[in-house]
Structure 1
Amino acid sequence: MKAVIPAAGLGTRFLPATKAQPKEMLPVYNKPTIQYVVEEAVASGIDDILIITGKGKRSIEDHFDRSFELEYSLRNCGKMDYLVEVEAISEMADIYYVRQKKQKGLGDAILCAKKHIDGQPFAVLLGDTISQSQVPCTRQLLDVYEKYNASAIAIERVPQDKIERYGIIKGQQVEDSVYRIEDMVEKPRPAEAPSDLAITGRYVLDCEIFDHIENVEPGVGGEIQLTDAMRQLNEIYGHIFDGKIYDIGNNVEWLKSSLEIALQDPDVNGELREYLQNILK
């Protein structure tokens, strides 16, 4: 199976930090956001990845490419741990790129992958969303897809004050963590939301989704919404995945993600925790 990572957005909520660099390259602790996403795809058994980029996103390509000058310098300086880490980044998977020419929404970005996917089911991992779990989120969705032979998306329960940030599903529970989806609404008002189950940025989709994207009308924000196209699928399931999602959607969530992931590193946990306790006194 192939994976598609949409990473063409302008990142306006992070300006001025994203004026000259993609938001997907903003570091979460010690790695760019998009590296976590690629690592998840690889850990799920996928080694053919298409990243949808746009103008000003060249640094994403550079990050996953070889850097001979850097590797030479690290080798000469004897910094072998760093050398191994840098070399591994360029060898993780076969990564391809295509540009979304105009910012017309997530659905349109996915449509850019149609030729590369070539009529097969595929995974979608949003480039600004990190997941952490014992079994990778995308692997869990692949298992649901294989069990039900139908598209599957990751969902999670969200508080009422965050419902307007997400696509929300209406569905019938078919097992502990799986719902057969009956409808989806993109960024509804809390009072109009069909549930508190939000779509969280991981999908495994049948290739028929491309036909629906091509025929769907612009939706919220005048954009081609993937949610509207998924509503047209004959069958689709939502899986409350076992793990945690970090939605790097704004400055506060980005900072929270960096802190939480940094606190998982035993090399910095003690010093960072002491620092936080001191400044919060």
Structure 2
Amino acid sequence: MSAAQFKKPVRKAVFPVAGLGTRFLPATKAIPKELLPVVDRPLIQYAVDEAREAGIEEFVFVTGRGKTAIVEHFDTAYELEATMSARGKSLDPLEPTRIQPGNLVTVRQQVPLGLGHAVWCARAVIGDEPFAIFLPDELMYGSPGCMAQMVEAYNEVGGNLVSVLEVPEEEVSSYGVIAPGATLDVLGGALTEVKGLVEKPKVAEAPSNKIVSGRYILQPEIMDLLANQGKGAGGEIQLTDSMAKLIGEQPFHAVTFAGQRFDCGSKVGFVEATLAIALDRPDMGSEVRTIAKKLLG
């Protein structure tokens, strides 16, 4: 294939949101974890806003049972809007929740077989186009956003990209880890060639301490690989295993995000994200800082 083949515009994004969110029970018994608020926006809204900033036009939610409220969040709430308008209230807070009709698609992951399987469930919507993947648990905070930075790099090198960050070596066994190659003069040196990928390696066997951090741009050929991908680490169909097979066949790079990453899959990470974003808000930062100092004594 020609180099141009790997530089088609990235218009579509997949959001795997079928998980049960058991670590946040009982809060997530009736409310999807992705709708839990970080300050005043649900977690999924941060990911969708990041996607829009990067030029994404079509949003594919891979859902499971009990997740219909996520779709409703991005629907038009006629009664709410009518009531707010009648009371003279601004509808501006609702603007980010509107996705253009026809640009939101949902597919169902009936069985929880892992991230790779969730992505594969979106194959019919993705077709023959490159696409982005957003793991909403990973709240990437910064300007420009993580995916906007990745798209900028993609426009230079094409192919496949992942976002990465460095963690202490003792933590690598919890993540997908890259084997880094040469550093490229793109994004101020934040772009690195990827020579290999390992899912949840033992600490002694990890090729680096650079972990994949929840954002991807992948070529459509990944779907054929996922269709035949056996179970990997944790007994699940791992996206990392199929991505590794693209290395050497297509361009593959990693972008070190110039911003903050919060692991909102954990309760401590969720609290950290809420506090950090609240402190950064001009409308409440000073008050929150005062409260934090008071609580810390």
TM-score by length of 2: 0.90
Q: 2:29 aligns with which of 9, 19, 27?
A: 19
Shift of 1:84: 2.3
Q: Give the match's secondary structure for 1:231.
A: helix
Does residue 295 of structure 2 align to residue 279 of structure 1? yes
For 2:99 and 2:227, the matched residues in 1 are separated by 34
Q: Which runs of 5+ in 2 are unaligned?
A: 1-10
For 1:194 and 1:135, the matched residues in 2 are separated by 29
For 1:242 and 1:105, the matched residues in 2 are separated by 28
For 1:202 and 1:216, the matched residues in 2 are separated by 21
**Structure 1 range deviating more: 93-102 or 61-70:** 93-102
For 2:32 and 2:174, the matched residues in 1 are separated by 21
**2:276 matched residue in structure 1:** 260
Q: Is the contact between residue 53 and residue 97 of structure 1 (CA under 8 Å) also seen in structure 2?
A: yes
Q: Which AA in structure 2 matches 1:30?
A: D
Aligned runs of 1:195-274 on 2, under 5 Å?
195-233=208-246, 234-235=249-250, 236-274=252-290
TM-score by length of 1: 0.95
How many residues are treated as equivalent by the alignment? Answer: 279
For 2:73 and 2:85, the matched residues in 1 are separated by 19
**2:124 matched residue in structure 1:** 115
For 2:204 and 2:37, the matched residues in 1 are separated by 36
Does residue 118 of structure 2 align to residue 101 of structure 1? no
Does residue 45 of structure 2 align to residue 41 of structure 1? no
For 1:226 and 1:219, the matched residues in 2 are separated by 9
Q: Is the contact between residue 3 and residue 122 of structure 1 (CA under 8 Å) also seen in structure 2?
A: yes
Aligned runs of 1:45-60 on 2, under 5 Å?
45-60=55-70
Shift of 1:14: 1.1
For 1:206 and 1:72, the matched residues in 2 are separated by 43
Does residue 169 of structure 2 align to residue 160 of structure 1? yes
User: Which digits, 9 at most, give the CA deviation of each residue in 1:56-111, with x for residues without a partner?
Assistant: 1011011000111111111112112xx22214411468211111111000000000
Shift of 1:220: 1.2
For 2:100 and 2:277, the matched residues in 1 are separated by 21
Q: Is the contact between residue 169 and residue 198 of structure 1 (CA under 8 Å) also seen in structure 2?
A: yes
Aligned residues with identical type, % of pairs: 40
Does residue 138 of structure 2 align to residue 129 of structure 1? yes
Q: Give the match's secondary structure for 2:268.
A: helix
User: Which digits, 9 at most, give the CA deviation of each residue in 1:146-203, with x for residues without a partner?
Assistant: 3222101111111224322211111212322222212111122322211010100101
RMSD, aligned CA: 1.4
Does residue 74 of structure 2 align to residue 64 of structure 1? yes
Q: Is the contact between residue 104 and residue 224 of structure 1 (CA under 8 Å) also seen in structure 2?
A: yes
Q: Which AA in structure 2 matches 1:66?
A: T
